[in-house]
Amino acid sequence: MKTRHLAGHAVNPIGYGCMSLSHAYGVPPAPEDGARMLHRALDLGYTHLDTARLYGLGANETLIGEALKGRRSQYVLASKCGIEFDGDKRRIDCRPDTIRTAVEKSLTALQTDHIDLYYLHRRDFETPIEESIGALADLVAAGKIGAIGLSEMSADTLRRAHAVHPVAAMQTEYSLWSRNPEIAVLATCAELGCAFVAFSPVARGVFANGVRDPDALVASDLRRSQPRFNAENWPHNLQLVDRFNTLAASLDITPAQLALAWVLSRGEHVIAIPGTASVAHLEENVRARDIELSGETIDRLDSLINRHTVAGPRYSAAMQRAIETEEFA
């Protein structure tokens, strides 16, 4: 199996983003079905599972811990801290004391004595990044986490963090229709020897034929609040999807596999973590690791779907305020 490096481990370049088993998209599966998905992922050769304290407000970590407690040595485990809830109120909190409390909750829920890769989920603009990284460095020294990661942060913050303690991974949305990492973060990760972990690599299901009519999504679905799916932008974006699907069919691969192969083509330090609650999609996605696209195909994709051809920003203005990744002018 082809592997790439993450937090000191050789992993399948296609990891499993576990969020949709508990949170955000559609109706989450029952816990017993989620457990079956996790076991199937390991049986298929997934070696990197990604979760967060946020997902299902702890339910996702609990699911993984309960389902896979007998298979802990078979995968690299990544989780995240820094988004806290007080009742219905959400806040970003990366103060050292909060981090220390969060990791203990995660370790308990995951039924493990260590987390291989632990991210700050978002930038806390009230707490210097150096203080947050210092707290995580102490957890590395204590053996509670194996490596430090950042999520949705800028190249400048990555450099500041890396100066305190090596940062093993930066996780950010990246796909054909979300190109922000190309401004600076993707290259900075390569320079610093930091893995780049792409979440939503199939564009929140769009490049897996997972969305045709946003109005048919359940009321709680995260995509209903995102501008690219609104009545103004979606008709244009759906035309791009149809042309993309035609290209995938001409290559005799699925649209999801084409999207994932494109992401992996962006550098040997890039890892993709598509999420799904479907066994068929789980099986489909993992096969993308063996697909190598020609330069001609990559050029056609880059011309078809890019920041100029996609309609609408990826987040609403309110959501964007919590994101520190660089924005195109």
Q: Residue 298: what are its φ and ψ, rounded to 5°? A: -60, -40
Q: How far apart are CA 131 and CA 247, in angstroms?
A: 48
Tell me whether residue 55 is one of the annotated catalytic residues: yes
Q: Which of 55, 75, 119, 174 is an active site residue?
A: 55
CA–CA–CA angle 272, 262, 169 (5° rounding): 30
Judge whether 74 and 47 are in contact, CB under 8 Å. yes
CA distance 263 to 272: 7
Q: Are strands 195-199 and 270-272 parallel, antiparallel or unpaired?
A: parallel
The secondary structure element, H or E, covering residue 171 is strand 167-173
Q: What φ, ψ does residue 268 adopt, rounded to 5°?
A: -70, -15
Write the CA distances from 200 to 18, 66, 90, 158, 318, integer angstroms: 11, 25, 22, 21, 20
The structure tokens 């989620």 sit at 34
| Cα separation, 4 vs 163, whole angstroms | 24
Give the pairing of strands 76-81 and 9-11. Answer: unpaired
CA atoms within a 13 Å half-sphere pointing along the CA-CB vector of 232:
6
| DSSP string for residues in 250-319 | HTTS-HHHHHHHHHHTT-TTEEE--B-S-HHHHHHHHGGGG----HHHHHHHHHHSSTTTS-S-SS-HHH
Q: Which residues make beta-bridge pairs with 148?
A: 118, 167
Residue with tokens 């995580």: 136
Q: Which one, of 36, 38, 44, lies nearest residue 12 by Cα? A: 44
Instruction: Name the residues annotated as catalytic.
Output: 55
